Amino acid sequence: MLSQVPAQRVISTTAEAPLPGYAAPDFTLTTTTGETIQLAETRGQPVVVNFWATWCGPCRAEMPDFQRASERLAGQALILGVNQRETAAQVTEFALKLTIDYPLLLDTTGDINQLYRVRAIPTTVFIDENGIIDEVYTGVMTQAVLEQKLAALLAE
């Protein structure tokens, strides 16, 4: 019997960490529901990419704020959670407990975390509607900080 392997493809690589003012490296990952999302296909709206893991306390603390923002900004901005090297079952169980329903992407190999040079989680990358990185934020964010950064991103 063949096992199903989630889609995961790195489009571009870079020797430098993604920086504000530069194009966000493209990637394709699969969600916990089996949907495939390619970052380049989200152009036209701001995107927030949050790198996280179920075992990360600060990640758990900020995820309800990302959920509220995702609900409030539906159609205006997209929130994506990129999980670090965990299974779909682990991530799905976690999301159900926290009532998280924004797209949670599975970086099962850690390639996208490496592509973005994620050294600590949570790390959040704010990307404008043209696919350009606006800011990279490392560490837990309060709801007020998240809302401020989202408002600035939407105002551009």
d(CA 107, CA 86): 8
In order, the DSSP letters of 52-111 are E-TT-HHHHHHHHHHHHHHHHTTTT-EEEEEEES--HHHHHHHHHHHT--S-EEEETTSH
What CATH number does residue 139 fall under?
3.40.30.10
**pLDDT score, position 26:** 97
Which residue range(s) make up the domain with 79? 50-155
Establish if 4 belongs to a structural domain.
Answer: no
Over residues 18-70, the pLDDT tens digits come to: 899 999 999 999 999 999 999 999 999 999 999 999 999 999 999 999 999 99
User: How many domains are there within the chain?
Assistant: 1
The fraction of the chain above a pLDDT of 70, given in percent, is 89
Q: β-pairing, 123-127 with 133-138? A: antiparallel
Peptide bond into 58 cis (omega under 30): no
Establish if 58 belongs to a structural domain.
Answer: yes
Establish if 29 belongs to a structural domain.
Answer: no
Establish if 13 belongs to a structural domain.
Answer: no
